[in-house]
Amino acid sequence: MKKYLAYTLLIAMMAPSCKKDLHSSVFDESTDQRLNAILAKYQSTLVAAPYGWVAAVAPAAGDEVYTYWFKFNDSNRVSSRWLDKPAVGSSYRLKALQQPELIFDTYTYLHLLADAEGKVPGAKTGVGLQSDFEFEILSGTADSFVLKGKYNGIDAKLLKAAAKDTTGNVVLPGYPLAGNFKYTSVRTLYTTTQAAGVVASVSRTNGVKTAPPLKYDATVSIDYSDLGASVWKYYLTLKNITDTDIAVDINPVMKSGIKQGSFKILEKSYDPVSGRIYLKTFYTNSAGAERVTEETFIRQ
């Protein structure tokens, strides 16, 4: 009995010590301290990437994914590039309330998507493209960050950049056709049908077009002939840069502007070595007149 009582007293004396050790190991830091440690780790990771980060931002409005290049420093400054525009400097900060946040707090290219004055194609006055420049950080590693827009809930991510991303057009991995193309276009406008053979006019254009990535896997858009101002676009899908079978479709705006079901692909080809795309297509306009378009795109 005495031996049993001695063991009981020994356990009772050890219990508070065990509780104290457990409490110390788990709860010795406050919530604020733990969040600050996470923020410090995230900032160190952002700054440490030698070639910066490629950002993919998908606004709530539209189907385009906008691609940027960011280079962060430890003084809360970030250099940004978009398309072929020069790099500009602005400020950023990391903060935490309930969750870590990345905030671009001075105006830069990213803010154009949310600008209420409608600074980019397709944006509406008052709301822009319903984009964000304040993000919750859902996860972060040495190679990528997953972000969620704080106000419009848009999806965004940061991918660790390579040396090639520091100059020229910023290209998002997974979209082999994204980038700039030199093009020539010939659009033949018939007074009625192609079979009748009476040509009303021929539109010939050339220059450079940009193919931005879309929210759909491996798909980009590019202006259809000389009708980009009408927001008529091809949707082009290519899974791998070495593939030759390119999938071709048109966007909903163009589909709604022509006779239903009239769009046809007469010929198509893609050469992965030269980056040359050839498309010959047909459609009937809303007035019943037929059109044939031939376009060649060569990657720059």
Domain boundaries, the chain: 33-166, 179-299
Q: What was the pLDDT predicted at 19?
A: 40
Give 233-288 pLDDT, tens digit per residue.
999 999 888 889 999 999 999 999 999 999 999 999 999 999 999 999 999 999 99
Distance CA 50, CA 181 (A): 29
Distances from the Cα of 243 to the Cαs of 108, 238, 240, 274, in angstroms? 37, 7, 5, 12
Of the candidate ranges 22-36, 73-87, 148-162, 256-270, the one whose mean pLDDT is the lowest: 22-36
Share of the chain above pLDDT 70, in %: 90
pTM of the entire predicted model:
0.78
Q: What was the pLDDT predicted at 15?
A: 45
H-type alpha helices, the chain:
2-27, 31-48, 252-257
Q: What was the pLDDT predicted at 234?
A: 98
Query: Who's near 288: CB < 8 A, 6+ residues apart?
Result: 192, 259
Going 219 to 244 to 69 to 184, the CA torsion angle's sign is negative
The two tokens of residue 104 are 């671009």
Q: What is the CATH number of domain 33-166?
A: 2.40.128
* Residue 29 burial class via C-beta count within 10 angstroms: exposed 0-12, middle 13-18, buried 19 and up: exposed
Distances from the Cα of 148 to the Cαs of 71, 100, 111, 213, in angstroms? 20, 11, 15, 19
Q: Is the pLDDT at 112 greater than 70, yes or no?
A: yes
Report whether CATH 2.40.128 matches the domain 179-299. Answer: yes
Mean pLDDT, all residues of the chain: 89
